Chain A
Amino acid sequence: MLRMGIELRKVRRSIEEKAEKAAVKDPLTGEQMELGEHAKSQEDIWQDPEEQAKFLQFFGAKDSRKAKPIIDALENKRLLTESQQTYVDESLRGYNIRRAEMGRLEQIFTPDYVRDIADTDKSVGLMVKQIGLERAHELLRGQLEKLSLDDAKSYSKLVKSMSEERTLSEGGWTAYVNNKVSHTLERIGIAQEDMGGYVASSLNMTAGFDRAARTNLESAARENMNIFMKIADTIGAKKISRGRAESFIDSFEKQRDLLQKSNLHLADIAKVLKASITPEMRQEMQRVMMEGGEMKGVPETNVNTIQELRAAREEFEEGAVKKRFGEALKAESKRLKKKSLSAYSPAEKSAFIDSFVDTEVSLQKKKIGRGIFTALLNIFLKSKPDIKTHAASLWP
């Protein structure tokens, strides 16, 4: 019976190893990747305090309720049960994968890359100017590492975007195409000075951007994107690339009939191109693309306005926390059939407070801000040790 159990465990481990191998993908290329030097054993991790702290963060983020008794057992040098050991093994494999991915990311996430972003984005530029490039890179690296341990999905999405953006923008390709558009429009008889006016006149805009003008701009941006997508379909490439466009020209004869069947002609395409190099339209088109689903920013946010931030702040004000504490204690007393608080043993009291703190932390984690709201949430919400101190003071 015991032998059969051991054999079953081996089979299960073998299946897990195969699945694990299939799951290790290079975050930059999407190809299979070896863990190499990132394949740390449990012993390696326990011997390195910094590594241990990171592993425990990853371990706790995965499933805090499952992790807690294991961490307690490890701290008190108690033996783990078989299921606990299996859970630690699984978590270690996940942790090593994150380490390997982070190692790969460092090949593109350099101070030069941060500078490049700061040069083109006003907000990032202002922040980098104040704290310096090296410090900004250091803070971002720490945040990326934290994200990789806490939220693998958001982390993978961001890494994929960084990698793709870097490949597409390499060598100033975006600026090159914009210049090419200007030259082409001039060559085919559309003066550059007319370009800026096109968007304004076609949208019947006068000056500035009032609400109606903004609505028109948004709708025109969508229309331009639709025409662009039609061009893409006409060329017959679902995923457009420079290579595809070149091969299209090579096989022009075969494609000509298809092109002529479409309603697009030179003037239509030229109009869209003109709009695409107008800054306001370009910005709106970017927004349309980012809202398109696939390119939506990460993570999903739910604190995006002052009203939502105020609501989040109120939800975690001391009075609100005190109310939740009282309700949770009442429910726990009922569950444990305690007639008075003096009937709680020190261990039961401690377990209740820990559980309450975990619940509060989970509630806080559900509040995800965008831009400045993420920093404001960080300022308004208490850290886990502070929540614990507050919760302990609430015990009547």
Chain B
Amino acid sequence: MALTPEQLRTEIDRLLEAGDESALKDFMLEHFSELPESAQSEMLLASFSDAVESRLADAKISELQDSALSAIDALEASEGGEKPRV
């Protein structure tokens, strides 16, 4: 159910006083479309930036994995390559 701006503010104040960040985040996400446009824009950009940075970090890990795979190939191809014992 959509909340009025006053109801939104009251609930945000209540969660803020309760100090529960996780509940506050869930509430903000659940009622995202009811937030003022400027707050929506700020929240969207912040989450979008974090997601981009996180995906970039993930892609860089893939680069490292790729290098590790190359190292495995190289070790396997060498005469003295050890078999894995994990």
Contact = CB atoms under 8 A, between A and B. Distances in A.
Interface of A: 114, 117, 120-121, 123-124, 126-127, 130-131, 136, 139-140, 142-144, 147, 158, 161-162, 164-165, 168-169, 173-174, 177-178, 180-181, 184, 188-190, 194, 198, 228-229, 231-232, 234-235, 237, 240-242, 244-246, 248-249, 252, 255-256, 259-260, 264-267, 269-274, 276-277, 282, 285-287, 289-290, 295, 297-298, 305-306, 309-310, 369-372, 374-379
Interface in B8-51: 9, 12, 16, 19, 21, 24-25, 28-30, 32-33, 35-51
A255 B52 contact: no
A184 B69 contact: yes
10 contacts: A114-B48, A121-B54, A140-B44, A266-B82, A273-B72, A282-B61, A375-B46, A376-B12, A378-B43, A379-B39
B72 A379 contact: no
Given A256-B78, A267-B82, A174 B33 contact: no
Interface in B53-86: 53-78, 80-86
Q: How large is the interface on B (under 10, 10 to 19, 20 to 34, 35 or more residues)?
A: 35 or more
Report which residue of B12, B28, B63, B68 has the largest number of chain A beta carbons within 10 angstroms of its beta carbon: B68
Closest 3 CB pairs of A and B: A375-B43, A168-B59, A121-B51
Contacts of B40: 127, 131, 139, 375
Mostly helix, strand, loop or mixed at chain A's interface?
helix
Given A178-B65, A181-B69, A379-B12, A165 B52 contact: yes
B78 A289 contact: no
Report which residue of B25, B41, B45, B70 has the largest number of chain A beta carbons within 10 angstroms of its beta carbon: B70
A379 B69 CA distance: 49
B56 A165 contact: yes
A117 B52 CA distance: 7
Nearest to A158: B49
Contact of A245 (B28, B41, B67, B81): B67
Nearest to B75: A266
A290 B54 contact: yes
Contacts of B43: 127, 371-372, 374-375, 378
